[in-house]
Amino acid sequence: MSTFPTSYSRAPNLLFTQASLNAIGKTNYQLLRVNQQLSTGLDILRPSDDPTRSATISTLDARLERSNQILRNLGFATDSLDSLDVALGDAKSLIDEALSIGNEQIGVPTDPETRASQANVIDSLINSLFNIANRESVVGYIFGGKSPGHAPVQLVNGAYRFVGGRGGLTADLGGVSDIPITLGADNAIGAVSARVEGTVDLDPALTANTRLADLNGARSLGVNTGVINMRFNAGASVEIDLTQAETAGDVADAIAAAIQQYETDYGVTILGAGGVSFTGGAFSIDVPAGSLEFSDTQGSFVALDLGLTDGAGSVFDALNPAGADLDPRLTWTTPVSALTGLGGAALGQVSLTTAGVNYTIDLSSANTLADIRSAFEAGGTNVVVEISEDGRSINVRTSLAGTRDQAMSIAEVAGGNNTATLLGIRTLQPDTLLSDFNDARGVRVNETEPDIKVTLGDGFELEFDLTSDDLGTVQDLLDAINAQAAAQLTAAGRPTTDFAAGLASPGNGITFTQDAALAASGPLDVDRLNNSGLAEDLGLLDATLDSTGAVLTSQDRAVVRVDNLFTHLLDLAQALRNDDTLGIEVAYSKLKDSVDRLSQSRAIVGGYARRVADEKVRQEDRQVLDESLRSNLRDVDFAAASSRFAQLQLQLQAGLSVAAQSQQLTLLNYLG
């Protein structure tokens, strides 16, 4: 049987050439791709290779990147929490040593020299505690709160001031991102801030500049904006758009404009000379004749929140020109002139004592609440003025921990117009709770026998028998003392003006005052009776007598002190140096309470560390699963790729062989 060579064909040589080159090119491309897959280990080299798998891989890449960052953060958190645990443990060891010293000095014969030497040991413990409080980890100062970039405790005039922020630093820790990795104010080491809580509702009035966001509203639910309805004398109703209103002045302007337009459209007279204004905390509209009524659209409460209606048909007329009180909250821009709680009185000067330094704070030129804050905080006073949480009063806070003579007190000054009392920030005033005296230890009395004896200048004696029922506020105490004094003086046929108890002003303290004629015979004197703690706890045993002998002023036992480890250690050191057994007992008791707080804080930190460790394991497990899934989608199967590579090599060789044969020259090439 005869055959023809494969090169003999009726197809043109050019077509054979192009077909061969295309086949070889495709094989080469596939070989290149498989070679890249083998060299990179990746099955997908570009998103266009497989868009669906590429999108999934991209999502997994992002998750793995975030997981890596979370694991790094968890590592930092672990380091910081471990540092906190060690610091709290070291602090507890210090306090245990201080407690041991205090316990040794309680109930034993006094030895001033031994106690003085032990005070030096307490001083070294305080220095160690200072270093612990300023300890650092990889995230910064571990007791620095949300601002761990600077040392949280500073030494100021022998006292220790906490300058760290409140709360703790948080980070992206995955499922435990709520865990703080530092501690801030109010931590167990002793950064608890003490404050004077304002006792006066300053009751700011509504002004044109009052922001609607700073109003509690007529329903105490804030103020909304929107569209309200208005009509006059039960006539046609029109809409007023308050959507863009931001201040009370914006609302007043919109209402005034709407009323003027209403007057033009309907030929009536509504507004009087007073126009739309403000009365106290409410909007006021002068309507000399007729009645102006506001209402809300369906489902809206704008007019109700603004006090323009009570929802029951209330109107503005000649007898009712004002709406409901909107209860504005204090802000730093609130004008002093708008503080109706001052009763129209002008502000003067205030005496501020802190860290053993007395400052006279002049508020006479203060125009806003911010000016009051600046006056208190300027000049290194180490105090902070805050607006109370309910927005009604101001508080004065100190973070300075020191001995009792470094405590904070706010008092009146002569000619100061009772400014501290007006603002409600005097530390000793009639409504001060006696339970707040002596660092919240209160005042002790003998319930069954007289507590103190007061001897007047002529030798007449007054005895005072107080009970716990008399120990509510300072005013309750003064009323009880004056009532008992009046009864004894009257029974003896003496005028009740011979003796009176009151509050010192200027300054702070409880005063016992005798008649000037009696003072000419001798000074006033106070003695404790029946082992009662009243005289000691009121500061009467350390009282000062004026030059005339008529007025005895007690120590201020309502001073504000920071309740923390630094304070208690300083008190213990001072009591040891003064050979003060009672002071040692008090400091010892406070330190025992602090140990409990340290243990609780350490337990909390330990719980945080356990949660962080569990989250780290969870993140690592999740990371392994994500990497496994990504590998299945992205990585090449080396066995399959190697087999494919060999197959393509054979295919290329075959293609080249076929192309070579198809291009061989025959007799037909020459016959053409």
- pLDDT tens digits for 87-120? 999 999 999 999 999 888 887 777 888 889 999 9
Whole-angstrom distance, CA of residue 395 vs CA of residue 531: 37
Q: Closest Cα partner for 508 from 425, 451, 423?
A: 425
Q: Does residue 380 come out as left (phi exceeding 0), alpha (psi in the -120 to 50 range) or beta?
A: left
CB atoms closer than 10 angstroms to residue 649: 13
Q: State residue 183's pLDDT score.
A: 85
The tokens for 49 are 């290779």
Q: Which residues of the chain have pLDDT under 70?
A: 1-16, 37, 43, 186, 188, 190-193, 637, 641, 652, 659, 661-672
Domains of the chain with bracketed CATH: 61-192+565-620 (1.20.1330.10), 212-305 (no CATH), 336-427 (no CATH), 437-553 (no CATH)
H or E stretch covering 360: strand 357-362
Whole-angstrom distance, CA of residue 650 vs CA of residue 656: 10
**Phi, psi values for residue 311, rounded to 5°:** 80, 0
CB atoms closer than 10 angstroms to residue 268: 14
Asked if 535 and 528 touch (Cβ cutoff 8 Å), the reply is yes
Q: State residue 1's pLDDT score.
A: 45
Asked if 381 and 397 touch (Cβ cutoff 8 Å), the reply is no
Whole-angstrom distance, CA of residue 508 vs CA of residue 350: 12
Asked if 423 and 202 touch (Cβ cutoff 8 Å), the reply is yes
Give, rounded to a whole angstrom, the gap between the first and last alpha carbons of the chain: 28
Asked if 513 and 456 touch (Cβ cutoff 8 Å), the reply is no
Tally the residues of the chain.
672
What are the residues facing 600 on neighbouring strands?
none
Helix (H, G, I), strand (E, B) or coil at 483: helix
Which amino acid makes up residue 513?
A: T
Q: State residue 47's pLDDT score.
A: 76
CA 662 to chain centre: 88
The tokens for 172 are 């992206």
The b/e string for 592-622 (b: 16+ C-beta within 10 A; e otherwise) is: eebbebbeebbeebeebbebbeebbeebeee
**Phi, psi values for residue 240, rounded to 5°:** -120, 120
Q: Give residue-wise pLDDT tens across range 415-426.
A: 999 999 999 999
- List Cα–Cα distances, 116 to 127, 504, 587, in angstroms: 17, 35, 16
- The model's pTM is 0.78
CB atoms closer than 10 angstroms to residue 338: 23
Torsion of CA 292, 296, 302, 307, to 10 degrees: 40
Asked if 164 and 157 touch (Cβ cutoff 8 Å), the reply is no
Using CA of residue 267, residue 268, residue 270, residue 272, what is the dihedral sign? Answer: positive
Q: State residue 154's pLDDT score.
A: 87
Helix (H, G, I), strand (E, B) or coil at 298: coil
For 221, counting Cβ atoms within 10 Å of its Cβ (0-12 exposed, 13-18 middle, 19+ buried), the class is exposed
